[in-house]
Structure 1
Amino acid sequence: MAVDLIGERWTCLILRASMLGLCHFEEFQACLGIARNILSDRLGRLVAGGILARTPDPEDGRKVIYALTARGAGLLPVLVALRQWALDSGLGKPSHPALADRRDRLPVARLTLQAQDGRPLELEDLVWVGPEGEELALPAATVPSRSRRSAA
């Protein structure tokens, strides 16, 4: 399950640091202030999960480079969405570095769910469908009805 692989605080911080360009064990440790044993464990899990690749450093044979794989780079929207949610919820503080477009140095646009035609979607616009396009019914006890949700 994805949350088992990346759903832990230190793992998210390691991923963010990797996306900012850190690649050596010592850099991660110094930047994050993480204990060596925890860092070693989390890096090992990310490598085993195909999120990071571990390769020898061609400039220093005693070091290794941890680099995002294509699978790891695919987590960028997840981390950006999590940061935006935290800021919206008052759980984080706007800080630098801010994520910006390399070309014009302007902050990236907010992430939104979009329909196939580009319309922004909210929770009430969504439904789970099966392989034939049929709406899937979940047990009533687990999902509030639309009327109960809108009344809340």
Structure 2
Amino acid sequence: MVTRTRFDDSDCPVARSVDAIGDWWSLLIVRDAFDGSRRFGEFQRGLGVAKNILSARLRALVAAGILDTVPASDGSAYHEYVLTPRGKALFPVVVALRQWGEEHFFAPDEPHSRLLDRQDGRPPRPLEVRAADGRRLAPEDTIVHKLP
């Protein structure tokens, strides 16, 4: 079995973030948590992922502080998974991936799921990276300052 490379001590925020999220299943679990899934069975049915993989990803997301377990809301002996503040902070990341996917992987008339504002029923504006003074930033407008 191949040992997974860890980035939890990297000086790069992107590498540490990828280390915490783990893989595509983990990000899809987070997406489903934003969509209201809370129980193991809901995640399993929605994703179609094997139970052993789902168990491992849920444990890792709890260990990373992205999800927490709480007693089931119906009073049963089960528990539910809820997003922590750290997990909720992933919302812009999920929205950015959604918007990028809509733009690059769907034909203009191809049906797909849509993220809508509950208040007015409209899609949110495209996310943009802005400078402190409000200017829109492109990759060529930025530089990564690496530590010595």
TM-score, normalization: structure 2?
Answer: 0.79
For structure 1, which runs of at least 5 residues remain unmatched after alignment? 130-135, 139-152
Which stretches of structure 1, 4 residues or longer, exceed 3 Å deviation after superposition?
Answer: 91-94
Identity over aligned pairs, percent:
44
Output one character per residue of 1:98-130: Cα deviation in whole Å (capped at 9) or x when no partner.
11222111101101100112221111111234x
* Greater RCO (CA < 8 Å, at least 6 residues apart): 2
Q: Partner of 1:19 in structure 2?
A: 34
For structure 2, which runs of at least 5 residues remain unmatched after alignment? 1-15
Is the 1:87–1:94 contact (alpha carbons within 8 Å) kept by the matching residues of 2? no
Q: Partner of 2:112 in structure 1?
A: 95
Q: Partner of 2:25 in structure 1?
A: 10
Q: Give the alignment of 1:129-144 within 5 angstroms.
A: 129=145
TM-score, normalization: structure 1?
Answer: 0.78
Q: Partner of 1:51 in structure 2?
A: 66
What CA distance in whole angstroms lies between the structure 2 residues aligned with 1:58 and 1:23? 10
Matched length: 131
Is the 1:29–1:35 contact (alpha carbons within 8 Å) kept by the matching residues of 2? yes
SS of alignment partner, residue 121 of structure 1: coil
Output one character per residue of 1:11-62: Cα deviation in whole Å (capped at 9) or x when no partner.
1110110000010001111111111100100000000000001011142432
Q: Give the alignment of 1:14-93 within 5 angstroms.
A: 14-90=29-105
What CA distance in whole angstroms lies between the structure 1 residues aligned with 2:102 and 2:140? 22
SS of alignment partner, residue 105 of structure 1: coil
Output one character per residue of 1:40-97: Cα deviation in whole Å (capped at 9) or x when no partner.
000000000000010111424321110000100000111111222223332796512x
